[in-house]
Structure 1
Amino acid sequence: MTTRPTISGFDYRAVPGADGVNLNVAVGGSGPAVVLLHGFPQTHYMWRHVAARLAGDHTVIVPDLRGYGDSDKPDGSDPTAYAKRTMAQDVVTVASGLGVDRFGLVGHDRGALVAVRAGLDHPGVVDYLGILDVLPTLDTWAVLRGVDAKVAWHLYLMAQPAGLPEKMIRAVAPEFFGSFLDAWDPGGTTFTAEERAYYVDSSVAAVDSIVADYRATASVDLEMDRADRERGARLTMPVGVISQDWGSQLGFDAASLWRAWAPDLTYQPTTSGHFMAEENPDETAAFITALAARPAARTP
């Protein structure tokens, strides 16, 4: 196993989340709290550059999501174990355990889906919501159609019933996880060889829980989004989205899709790739800083 890297200057601790699941959490800085949630196939370490930039003005809380990195990996046979509602409760519980009752929340990729669910379920504790390069679950499945949807082939693989997807992925796990790091970083300059190896090794050790996380997005998470859409649920805090323009390939307007969920929205296109927090940490940190400065306009 590649040596586990850490964010310089941050303290590490195991903090209980929902249902007694312990999350590996890095904490640094001082000031108003912001929680940063990582994406796939990565860990909290993807935020190392951004976290360092934010720590001068913020208490920065950076967990490994359940099932990833050095956090606990509960059995996923119960679909709610990796429901974004459960993972959002992890975030709220961890923050509370650190003495934080309100915080900004920023997520990339999978972590952004957790962040959205936290914003919908716990609006009283999330001051602002930042989203990096993803759509809400309901909209993701709605826009994937035709041959252009092949870009999301892994979503369909991991949505299948338990057993075969895990077996298939384990057979070629380093190649499977490495393929996303390479395809989404076509220039090959975002990660050092050691960083790439760390992400691959961490993911190889978490095949079952990663598949369970994705499977939940095709089942229980989708059902929750549908229920929220039917009841007219909205994100009541300021929301910022920074994203590649992959809607032009798949034929949708990402800003419009987000605005249906988030009336108080800013949408910022970027020329960076999917791993923007590492490729362009200055832009990403500036995006978060600007979002944190926006006045909240909460509904009663």
Structure 2
Amino acid sequence: MASTPTHHPDLAGLPRFTTQRVEVDEGVFLDVATAGSGTPVVLLHGFPQTRLMWRHVAADLAADHTVIFPDLRGYGASDKPAATGPAVYSKRTMARDVVRLAAALGHDRFALAGHDRGALVAFRAAMDYPEAVSRVALLDVLPTLDMWESLRGTMAAVGFHLYLMAQPPGLPELMIENSAEAFFSFFLDAWTKDPRALPDDVRAAYLDASKAAVPSIVADYRASAGVDVEHESADRKAGRTIAAPLTVLQQDWGALLGYDAEALWRAWAPDLRHRTVACGHFMAEEDPALIASEIRALFTR
């Protein structure tokens, strides 16, 4: 796989990070930032964000780890291939991207942390590549299959975007592109408890990146209503679980939606640490010290 140097404005002011583009699939390059030295850890961002969401945590972890944090396929400065089929943005494909990226950077085994959409990619990587993923931290997410089974009745309205982007190609893209500023702003505003965690320049960077990536973002979500469910259903039927130590940090959505998040996760991961946090969804920016501490603690498990 090819690798070329690059520059990404979202890391301005963070001179310790270097960036490059790495080919992870035929003609598909991920834009990735790296820093530090030591045991490698890969950080995967969520929606509607880019790798910029890890800026505080990555700077902390780089003191004693090699930190690798890309923009996912379809997001930020990474390539956005056309969704010619459901596999293009399946979490299985995106997980393979991450494993290939780490290998291209010289790491055949690494720890992995993901938030939101990135957590779903990390989950799939841990399931599909146990030889590569040594330990996992997942932030504010449920496995895709459990998520769909937990959303029911009027309370499912909190996930309206999931249902919108699950629709066949055409209408979701049109609706979101015609109201992109309002659409993506809604989540940045509604999902944070401390607006100071998303200063104006960072918020603007997320909005610009998301508005430029509507088709691929929708394709990512559409996969989670189709092919990703198929993959997790097959895993559940076969009794597959995550072998690596797993830490899950979540808001208390279970109280609202009526499920036991820890019990759902334990069915997938026998070696589980589950913690409910007080901050909002964007926890790597609202409480980066906590997140860095929990990722570090993984290395002692």
If the length of structure 1 is used for normalisation, what is the TM-score? 0.96
1:85 to 88, 92, 99: 92
| Secondary structure, aligned partner of 2:196 | coil
Q: Is the 8 A contact 1:4 1:198 kept in 2?
A: no
Q: Deviation at 1:149?
A: 1.1
Superposed CA RMSD in Å reads 0.9
2:9 to 4, 12, 17: 4
2:42 to 28, 35, 38: 35
1:245 to 252, 255, 264: 252
Quote the residue 2:165 is aligned against: 158
Find the aligned partners of 1:188 and 1:111 in 2 and give their Cα distance.
22
Which structure 1 segments of 5+ residues have no match? 295-300
Quote the residue 2:22 is aligned against: 15
1:128 to 135, 157, 160: 135
Determine if the alignment matches structure 1 residue 45 to structure 2 residue 60. Answer: no
Find the aligned partners of 2:118 and 2:95 in 1 and give their Cα distance.
9
Quote the residue 1:146 is aligned against: 153
Find the aligned partners of 2:242 and 2:127 in 1 and give their Cα distance.
6
Over residues 251-275 of structure 1, what are the superposed CA-to-partner deviations in whole Å (9 max), with x where a residue is unaligned? 0010000000000000011001100
| Secondary structure, aligned partner of 1:99 | coil
If the length of structure 2 is used for normalisation, what is the TM-score? 0.96
Moved over 2 A (4+): none
Find the aligned partners of 2:240 and 2:276 in 1 and give their Cα distance.
25
Find the aligned partners of 2:101 and 2:137 in 1 and give their Cα distance.
19
Quote the residue 1:103 is aligned against: 110
2:79 to 64, 72, 78: 72
Which structure 2 segments of 5+ residues have no match? 1-7
Q: Deviation at 1:70?
A: 0.2
1:170 to 177, 182, 204: 177
| Secondary structure, aligned partner of 2:10 | coil
| Secondary structure, aligned partner of 1:189 | helix
Q: Among the aligned pairs, what percent are the same residue?
A: 58
Find the aligned partners of 1:129 and 1:188 in 2 and give their Cα distance.
28
| Secondary structure, aligned partner of 2:299 | helix
Quote the residue 1:298 is aligned against: none
Q: Is the 8 A contact 2:194 2:280 kept in 1?
A: no
Quote the residue 1:283 is aligned against: 290
